[in-house]
Amino acid sequence: MKPVYIAGAGMTKFGRSEWSLLQLASVASLAALHHADLGEIPVDGVVVANMGAARINRQTALGSALVDQLALYPAAAEAVENGPASGASAFKVGVQAIASGMADVVLVTGVERMRVVNGLEGTDFVASLSQPEVEYIYGVTLPSLAGMFARLFMDRFGVERKHLAMIAIKNHENATKNPYAHIQQTVTMEGILTAPEAVVNNPPIAEPLHMFDCCPVSDGAASIVLVSEEVAGKLGGPMVRVAGIGQATDTHAVHEREDPTDLKAVRIASEKAFAMAGAQPADVDVAELHDAFTILEIAESEAAGFFAKGEGHKALERGETKLDGTLPINPSGGLKAKGHPVGATGVAQLVELTWQLRGEAKERQIKDAKIGYACNFGGFGNNVVATVLRREA
């Protein structure tokens, strides 16, 4: 395989947007293209990541639509729908195109415009990824799978609601340093858990998970420009290499897993990504995890290999995953506070890592970050893409 580098990264602010799906995708793409500053070097391919446009925006064939918006004809165009892992999957498709020698420059853009529908419809569109015959028919939604996972995980490993609140507090705090984040508001332990009014501020969503354990519903787009070694050499500037990608699937129905608290696909995808990168979890300087629900940040931090099983919440308690800790997790604010426009999320995680590895993350910059890791968690853990990026020069 040929080496693949990231030449540029950009995104829109996440949140409620008045922009159309294509405007969102175009704005993020142009930000990444300007960041890459390709000059006369042509874009060979465009890969768009999206989950719900066919249903909620009544729009399909987003790859060619984006090529048209950006006047990148005759660039090859495609779209990837892979549930909440669409973003990192599309990134992987772009990486494969360059690694194989079929392309030199690929634009990967993730986009979702999901606030256009009401809450029931929005929750249902995501719930449609669940097993239709044995989960969906019962009214299973993603929050309900997360709630059942959380109750079992907390019971087995001694995780308490205060630990979940610590994730929310940390990620909200980080998001206030990220101008692209959906939620720009800090929260306190009193406000969401211990004060009498916390029951009003923080109502249950899927017990034991409450509102501040769940990511918001966001519109937004994120974009990355991938290039071959030859093009990267011409461009100069910081060299961020795609060091490793791993992907794994698990059973569709959560109840079929041998141990439903084991995020097996995260474990396998991460092992593969680290093996490809020739790196270890202990080498990672910054991580972006898929905290669609607070419990997932703890569980993924263990499954990815950063902490032993049952130790993630203890590392959190010790402050190790804060911005100034030994392994900062979700400096961007994570899905929890940065927001979760589903198809954009996997790309946005890699945008944050790119900025961190280039030293461009401003107020939330992690000093001398050289190796970054991202976990994009599709389904309820049945399709996971793990990515390792490395700053080379």
Interface residues toward another protein, by CB under 8 A = 119-121, 123-124, 127, 131, 133-144, 147-152, 155, 203-209, 214, 251-256, 260
Q: Look at the alpha carbons of 101, 102, 104, 108 in this order and tell me if their dihedral is positive or negative.
A: negative
Cα–Cα distances (Å) from 84 to 28, 176, 341, in that order, read 19, 24, 9
Distance of closest approach, residue 55 Cβ to another protein, in angstroms: 12
DSSP 195: S
Q: What is the DSSP string of 323-385?
A: TTSSS-B-TT-HHHHH-B-HHHHHHHHHHHHHHHHHT--GGGPPTT--EEEEEEEETTTTEEE
Residues 6+ apart with CB under 8 A from 282: none
Closer to another protein by CB, 211 or 308: give it: 211
Decide if 290 contacts 340 (C-beta within 8 A): no
Contact 20, 224 (CB under 8 A): no
Comparison of 244 and 341: residue with beta carbon closer to another protein: 341
State which residue, 29 or 383, has the beta carbon closest to another protein: 383
Nearer to another protein, 209 or 273 (CB): 209
136 CB-contact burial (10 Å; exposed 0-12 / middle 13-18 / buried 19+): middle
Query: In whole angstroms, how close is the CB of 255 to another protein at the nearest point?
Result: 4
CB of 203 to another protein, least distance (A): 7
Whether 21 contacts 38, CB under 8 Å = no
What is the closest distance, in whole angstroms, from the C-beta atom of residue 214 to another protein in the complex?
8
3-state secondary structure of 75: coil
Closest distance to another protein from the beta carbon of 66 (Å) = 30
Residue (132 or 179) nearer to another protein, CB:
132
Contacts of residue 32, Cβ cutoff 8 Å, sequence gap at least 6:
8, 9, 10, 107, 109, 223, 224, 225, 351
Q: How far is the CB of 138 from another protein (least distance, A)?
A: 5
Shortest gap between Cβ of 320 and another protein (angstroms)? 28
Residue 11 or 254 having the CB closest to another protein: 254
134 or 276: CB nearest another protein? 134
Helix (H, G, I), strand (E, B) or coil at 29: helix
CA distance 290 to 280: 20
Give the span between the Cα atoms of 123 and 114, in whole angstroms.
10
| Smallest distance from another protein to CB 205, Å | 5
Q: How far is the CB of 223 from another protein (least distance, A)?
A: 30
- 55-67 per-residue burial string, b: 16 or more CB within 10 A, e: under 16: ebbebeebbbbbb
Nearer to another protein (CB atom), residue 61 or residue 137 = 137
Q: For residues 322 and 336, which CB has a smaller minimum distance to another protein in the complex?
A: 336
- Beta bridge partners of residue 223, listed in sequence order: 10, 109
359, two tokens: 């030293």
CB of 273 to another protein, least distance (A): 25
**Sequence-separated (6 or more) residues with CB below 8 Å from residue 233:** none
Which CB, 137 or 282, lies closer to another protein?
137
